[in-house]
Amino acid sequence: MALLVRVADCVPVLLADVDAGVVGAAHAGREGVRAGVVPAVVASMRSLGAGEVRAWIGPHVCGRCYEVPAAMRDELADRIPVAGATTSWGTPSLDLGAAVGAQLAETGVERVDHLDLCTMERDDLWSHRRDAAAAGRLAGVVQVVA
């Protein structure tokens, strides 16, 4: 079985417990991070027998580029302090990658590989915020291999 997640600025999260043969994938945008989609996937994996879960956080818009209204930033940062950030030009922003990393740590996921690549800063990555309707999607795939 293979799972796929598609994004164009949101945070793609792939998860696996190779020994248990359990995988998970999450599309973690602002609302998904707020709603706890990543901890829910980890909990579901654990209910299926996953123990030592490894996670990969893929390319996404970074806190230097993800400008949001101050109230929106503050609302999420009240729940997950590392989510609060400031853009490189000094306006309120969110660091969803850091927020996902914190959520993974809270669920006991110790092995996290974070591809620190910003979709807005790199022309070789799709970005909905940068390219609007012309943006394609990035895909992450995780698979159990028998």
User: Once rounded to an integer, what is the mean pLDDT over residues 46-68?
Assistant: 96
CA atoms within 13 A on the CB side of 94: 28
Ranking 4-18, 57-71, 108-122, 123-137 by mean pLDDT, the lowest is 123-137
pLDDT above 80 (res 23): yes
User: Once rounded to an integer, what is the mean pLDDT over residues 77-99?
Assistant: 98
pLDDT above 80 (res 145): no
Using CA atoms, how far apart are residues 67 and 55, in angstroms rounded to an integer? 26
Strand positions, DSSP E, the chain? 2-7, 11-17, 22-28, 54-57, 84-86, 92-94, 111-114, 138-143
For residue 15, what pLDDT is reported? 97
**CATH assignment of the domain containing 133:** 3.60.140.10
Query: Residue 117 belongs to what domain range?
Result: 2-143
Percent of the residues in the chain that have a pLDDT greater than 90, as a whole number: 87
Q: Total domain count for the chain? A: 1
Q: Which position has the token pair 């910003």?
A: 118
For residue 146, what pLDDT is reported? 66
